Each structure stands twice: as C-alpha cells, then as structure tokens.
Amino acid sequence: MSKLTARRVVQVPIHIYRKCISPLKPATCRFYPTCSAYALEAIEVHGALKGSWLAAKRIARCHPFNLGGIDLVPPRKGSPKDTEVQN
C-alpha cells in the first residue's frame, strides 16, 4: 500500500465523522483548528502513523478542563517552516 493510499484510508473515517456525526452535535471543540481539521492536516503533513498519533494526543486534550486555544500541527522536521528564523 502506498503512503498516499494509507493517508487516504486513515482520513476516510474523519471525513465520515465531519459529514454525518459532527452536524448532529453542538460545537464543543476547544481548539483552533477543530480536532477533525487538525487530524486531517496532521495525517497529510506527517503521514498515516505519526499523523494519527498527533491527532489522538490532540483529541485527548480536548475536554472541559482544558482551556484550548490555537494549536497548529507542528511542521515536519526538516521542512522550510521548521528552519525559518523567528523574529
């Protein structure tokens, strides 16, 4: 199975959740981007295995005792974003 195929297979349940389940419940995600958007991006950037791990860690933090906030997907190590100098 190619890496692209693995990513797509892992992303299918997230798309189903966003289309079928999410509209039926109130918005409760405490983060930006939402946990499902974070999961899709994490899988796209880091691949199926690491992206799923990052998504699971994020979902575990999304609860009433966490204030939430902006939590972006970390850049892939060695990517141009990772090596930019912050002023």
Q: Cα separation of 57 and 71, whole Å? A: 12
The pLDDT tens digits of the residues spanning 38-76 come to 999 999 999 999 999 999 999 999 999 999 899 999 998
At residue 22, the pLDDT reads 92
At residue 75, the pLDDT reads 94
Q: Cα separation of 5 and 11, whole Å? A: 10
**Residue ranges covered by each domain of the chain:** 3-76
Q: Can you give the pTM of this predicted structure?
A: 0.83
36 by DSSP, 3-state: which? helix
Selection from 43, 49, 48 nearest residue 73 by Cα: 43
Selection from 84, 1, 9 nearest residue 52 by Cα: 9
CA dihedral 22→26→32→36, nearest 10 degrees, is -20
Residue 22 gets which letter from DSSP? G
